[in-house]
Amino acid sequence: MCGIAGIFHFDTSRSVNESLLKKMADSLAHRGPDGEGFYIKNNIGLGHRRLSIIDLSTGDQPMFNEDKSIAIVFNGEIYNYVELKEELKNLGYKFFTNSDTEVIIRAYETWGTDCQNKLNGMWAFALWDERKNQLFISRDRIGEKPLFYSTHDNTLLFGSEIKSILAYGIPKIPNLELTELYLTLGYIPAPYTFYKNISKLQAGHYLIVTPNSVQEKKYWDLPEIDEENMISDKKLVYETFESLLKDSVRIRMRSDVPYGAFLSGGLDSAGIVALMSEISKEKVKTFTIGFKEKMFDERKLAAMAAEKFKTDHHEYMIEPNSFDEAIKKVMHHFDEPFGDSSALPTGKVSEIAAQKVKMVLTGDGGDEVLSGYNSNMVEKFAEQYQKLPFFLRSRLPGMVSSAGNLFKGDNRHKIKQVARALSFSNETFSDRLMAKSWCKPELVKQIISHPEKQIKLADFMSDFFSKYKVKHPFYQLMFFQFKVLLPDDFLTKVDRMSMAASLETRVPFLDHRLVEFMSRVHRDIKMEGYERKSVLRNTIGKRLPPALLRAPKKGFAIPLREWFKEKSFEPKLESLYASDFGLNTKLIRKLAEDNNSGKEDNGNLLWMIFLLKNWMDGER
């Protein structure tokens, strides 16, 4: 796991400035604290920061073929490198290292850019082909590893994080047209960033860069599905799922350094730990984060799994006094506003894990592969709910909401959530999806006070779904989760926060073989009735403690709603109201008052606004 950066001048007579390239790479030192390397030849420069996981002695980068006509810098892991190496040996290739990086070079020499389809792993790499005078930049299928790029001053710049491109000295121009997307989604979707002149390379895409052009191409997508002929053989699904997940865990445990696993109280991470414990000859090291607020704390459930599988277990509790530190950390490592507050516990669990190991497996991606979110359940419920008489559907949400007013605290919040779910179920799929946003589009119009025209959430959604001709809302949601929510929110969060601690994370649920198979499984097999993750429960789940199977879904969240009510947060909120950063501060004050009175849960929205304010302050 590493950080990469590079410079390509379109003018072939212009030489790369070595000090600028080193400055770009140095900004990524946290991603690769074990070493650095550079390749500069005329108008091309490649920089690398290394975190050593495999082939500790001979895996340095940039790496070359024999005549140095090919040079590569690579961030990630190719898990099937052992099998690919044997295939390439049989084709006559010789290998000089035990590194997966060399396997990419040989694969490219054999199959060209089609080599991407042979790789099973997570990656962002840049490969310079001197004979073709072209730069080949690739990002993995699902988007586990990031890659940003910019064209500036007749030059293409790229890097693992935005800060590496900013280190070159390009102008920092905020893209305020993205404010609505940020406030509604909580993150900036690809290909956008919050800088006008910097883009994200989309998952499953690659760039071909020559002195004359920059071409972005797609090499992978979710398979087209036949909604009338989805896989409905339960026995086949269970057997295939378990076999693929076991093999995914097995090849992701290939490592030359100590490793462990993140363990929450959820089914996904516990399932991964169960399989790791079957494969490993030693105790698996597990790491858990908790809170004093019981609604958010899963330490007891995680401890049950740790005891069941005899792991070497470590846990840590997060307190509200970490808020200021968290703001600074998120600002530094994401380089743009990023509103997913679970970045805080992800950062903390990464810190404690990094004290013991250099790599962990995680349960991320399980909800997407298994369609296990509450929103997936809502889509299945809506299909049935809309069959009820209209007079009943039109009255029921209001009746439940009114009943919620009789309660206080968590119970009131839960009943209000049920009322909202009933209300959503009356709407179209598009309206339901937008209603799940952190800040409702109608509220966004009131809260944004700067004059820039906005890229509207409705337009973004319309453009996205125009690319995927899927009819049923359950499968539409699946496509959105895989193509937008997962790469731009959840995988971004895990990458930045783990890399901040110089820790590698591997995600068995996102093996492309498993993703492709499960995307074609019928919704009634994935979710029997309204049982979440039926496939996991009836396979790996049988090994888990029964309490984990009975526990309600919590999600990896933090108690922001409660934190903002504490006295220590009053000065922070007052400083927010006094700021001028393009949002309506009077309305923000009302949002905070509604949150602190228990009327609404605006905790995450307030957190997002704090991040936007701090980012804007830094850009002034």
> Same structural domain for residues 145 and 27?
yes
Task: Please tell me what DSSP assigns to residue 487.
Answer: I
User: Is position 577 within any domain?
Assistant: yes
In whole angstroms, how large is the CA radius of gyration of the chain? 24
pLDDT of residue 54: 58
Q: Is the dihedral of CA 23, 24, 27, 29 positive or negative?
A: negative
Domain boundary among 218, 252, 285: 218
My answer on whether 348 and 206 are in the same domain is no
pLDDT at 209: 98
Instruction: Identify whether 613 is part of a domain.
Output: yes
**d(Cα 186, Cα 340) in Å, to the nearest integer?**
6
What angle is formed at CA 457 by the lines to CA 453 and CA 458, rounded to 5 degrees? 105
**Among 510, 529, 550, which residue terminates a domain?**
550
Q: Are strands 70-78 and 121-129 parallel, antiparallel or unpaired?
A: antiparallel
Residue 349: closest CA among 284, 393, 435, 286: 286
What is the predicted pLDDT for the residue at 425? 80
Task: Give the residue among 114, 219, 237, 120 at the shortest CA–CA distance from 507.
Answer: 120
Amino acid (one-letter) located at 436 = K
Q: What is the pLDDT of residue 57?
A: 53
Show the domain range for 482. 234-371+475-550
Q: Give per-residue pLDDT as tens, 127-150.
A: 999 999 999 999 999 999 999 999
- 407 within domain boundaries: no
In a domain, 609, yes or no: yes
The total of structural domains in the chain comes to: 3
Residue that terminates a domain, selected from 550, 571, 596: 550
Evaluate whether residue 391 is within a structural domain: no
Same domain, 288 and 200: no
156 and 259 inside one domain? no
Whether residues 284 and 164 share a domain: the answer is: no
Q: Report if residue 223 sits inside a domain.
A: no
Q: Are residues 256 and 111 in the same domain?
A: no
* Structure-token match 């936007």, residue found: 612
- Report how far residue 121's alpha carbon sits from residue 512's, in angstroms, rounded to the nearest whole number: 8
| Inter-residue contact 154 to 10 (CB < 8 Å) | yes
Q: How many Å is the maximal CA-CA distance in the chain?
A: 76
Kindly state whether residues 363 and 480 are assigned to the same domain: yes
* Pick from 176, 83, 88, 122: nearest CA to 1: 122
Residue 283 and residue 302 in one domain: yes
Task: For residue 371, count other CB atoms closer than 10 A to its CB.
Answer: 27
The answer as to whether 405 is a domain residue is no
CATH number of the domain at 298, please: 3.40.50.620
Which of 193, 324, 345 is closest to 611 using CA atoms? Answer: 324
Give catalytic status of residue 2 as yes or no. yes
Same domain, 12 and 39: yes
Are residues 154 and 299 part of one domain?
A: no
* The three-state (H, E, C) secondary structure of 282-345, written as one string: CCCEEEEEEECCHHHCCHHHHHHHHHHCCCEEEEEEECHHHHHHHHHHHHHHHCCCCCCCCHHH
| CATH number of the CATH domain containing 178 | 3.60.20.10
Which residue do the tokens 């957190």 mark? 607
CA gap 44, 75 in Å, rounded: 18
* Residues of the chain below pLDDT 70: 1, 52-59, 320-322, 555-557, 619-620
My answer on whether 49 and 19 are in the same domain is yes
Half-sphere exposure at residue 162, Cβ-oriented, CA atoms within 13 angstroms = 24
Q: Are residues 617 and 505 in the same domain?
A: no
Tokens encoding 370: 């298994």
Active-site residue (options: 2, 54, 361, 448): 2
Whether 398 maps to a domain, the answer reads: no
**Residue 231: both structure tokens together:** 């896989």
- pLDDT tens track for 416-440: 777 877 877 888 888 888 888 899 8
